[in-house]
Amino acid sequence: MRSRILQVTCGCVLALTCAASAFADTFKAGLLTEGSATESGWNKIAYSALQRIGEELDAEISNVEMEANPASFRKAFEDYAALGYDVVIGHGFQFKDAALEAAAEFPDTVFLITSSDVFEGNVVGVNLNTFQPFFLMGVIAASRGDKAGYIGGVEIPPITNALTGFRNGTKYVNPDFKVLEVMTGSWNDLAAAKEAALSMISNGADTIVPNANISALGAFQAVTEHPGIVAFGTFGDYTDKAPQQILGNYTPDLSQGFLNIAREIKEGRFAPDANILFGLEHEDVVILQFNDGAEEPVSEEMRAELAKIKAKLISGEIDPTVP
């Protein structure tokens, strides 16, 4: 009874305020981030994706900076969907539940959830296959010596998956290869990463792979103090931190990935059969670039070999998740 009265009152207000919600034919994309969208780092990836969608797809874009409170996410998804948005990005696993709940009512909107293992109707997870590029780094490391060091930040799936890929890459070349590993437990503790790198080097590691956000800088410091040691940059171009010694950088461009998906949605070609996993076959998203200015750059023969392995990774002939 009370809800009936509520409905009537609300209906009246609705009629008054919401008379002009005409649906235009422009492509609309929305983004939900937890916290500021423009700060560098995680949220920035999605925000720049949104801006590129706006510019390159001539789309109407909008974003909302949510508080860290999963209870408020569903309404935001529904708000976008009700306004006729074609795609809404929820940037982080925490958006998954809310998107699933909202999606049932709004089948015409695609909900993309970053780093989430989900594929249910119009809710699709978007992930990077971190196994593959690190597998290739492992191959390179194993061709140069018999020990390498991997420095992870916090022990979360993307970081441990990368380690698994790296280790399996080294084993692919040399089954006896040894990977020393340290998880510093921090994304910004440069000193801890440096200490880890130093102890790895003194234990005989020839290659150092820091995968710990900004604290990687500490590891590169340790590398520059030891000529002859080589390193890889991950999730960013770190070449100038050790120009002689960095062999290459893993510089994934997830915003390009979002742009690709949005383009498919706009053109009506988007028909995934599983959650989206950007791997080496997406050459504009998952990028492993080499530093030609290094003292001993990755050789031409090695690059040819890597291209073959890459093809096998893409075809599935090599599974980087198992040794």
Q: Contact positions toward other proteins, by CB under 8 A?
A: 3, 6-7, 10-11, 13-14, 17-18, 30, 62-72, 74-76, 78-80, 82-83, 93-94, 97, 101, 105, 117, 157
Question: What is the closest distance, in whole angstroms, from the C-beta atom of residue 14 to other proteins in the complex?
Answer: 5
Cα separation of 249 and 178, whole Å?
22
Distances (CA, A) of 107 to 78, 96, 102: 11, 16, 9
Question: What is the closest distance, in whole angstroms, from the C-beta atom of residue 69 to other proteins in the complex?
Answer: 4
Cα separation of 175 and 161, whole Å?
19
Name the pairing type of β-strands 123-128 and 276-278: parallel
Q: Are 184 and 243 in contact (CB under 8 A)?
A: no
Question: What is the closest distance, in whole angstroms, from the C-beta atom of residue 23 to other proteins in the complex?
Answer: 15
Q: Where are the alpha helices (DSSP H) in 174-213?
A: 190-202
Question: What is the closest distance, in whole angstroms, from the C-beta atom of residue 158 to other proteins in the complex?
Answer: 10
Name the pairing type of β-strands 60-66 and 87-90: unpaired
Question: CB-wise, 68 or 271, nearer to other proteins?
Answer: 68
Question: What is the closest distance, in whole angstroms, from the C-beta atom of residue 101 to other proteins in the complex?
Answer: 8
Question: What is the closest distance, in whole angstroms, from the C-beta atom of residue 73 to other proteins in the complex?
Answer: 9
Question: CB-wise, 58 or 67, nearer to other proteins?
Answer: 67
Question: CB-wise, 105 or 225, nearer to other proteins?
Answer: 105
Question: CB-wise, 101 or 146, nearer to other proteins?
Answer: 101
The shares of helix, strand and coil residues in the chain, as percent rounded to the nearest 5, are: 45, 20, 35
Question: CB-wise, 33 or 48, nearer to other proteins?
Answer: 33
Question: What is the closest distance, in whole angstroms, from the C-beta atom of residue 185 to other proteins in the complex?
Answer: 12
Name the pairing type of β-strands 276-278 and 207-211: unpaired
Cα separation of 84 and 287, whole Å?
34
Q: Please, which residues have CB within 8 angstroms of residue 230's CB and are 6 or more apart in sequence? A: 144, 206, 207, 208, 223, 245, 246, 247, 294, 296
Question: CB-wise, 21 or 315, nearer to other proteins?
Answer: 21
Question: What is the closest distance, in whole angstroms, from the C-beta atom of residue 111 to other proteins in the complex?
Answer: 15
Question: CB-wise, 80 or 220, nearer to other proteins?
Answer: 80
- Least Cα distance to 278 among 49, 125, 50, 120 occurs for 125
Question: CB-wise, 95 or 290, nearer to other proteins?
Answer: 95
- Least Cα distance to 87 among 112, 62, 59 occurs for 112
Question: What is the closest distance, in whole angstroms, from the C-beta atom of residue 13 to other proteins in the complex?
Answer: 4
- Least Cα distance to 55 among 27, 34, 79, 31 occurs for 27
Question: CB-wise, 41 or 157, nearer to other proteins?
Answer: 157
Place of tokens 């599974």: 319
Place of tokens 């992930």: 127
Q: Are 90 and 98 in contact (CB under 8 A)?
A: yes
Tokens of 101: 């709940």
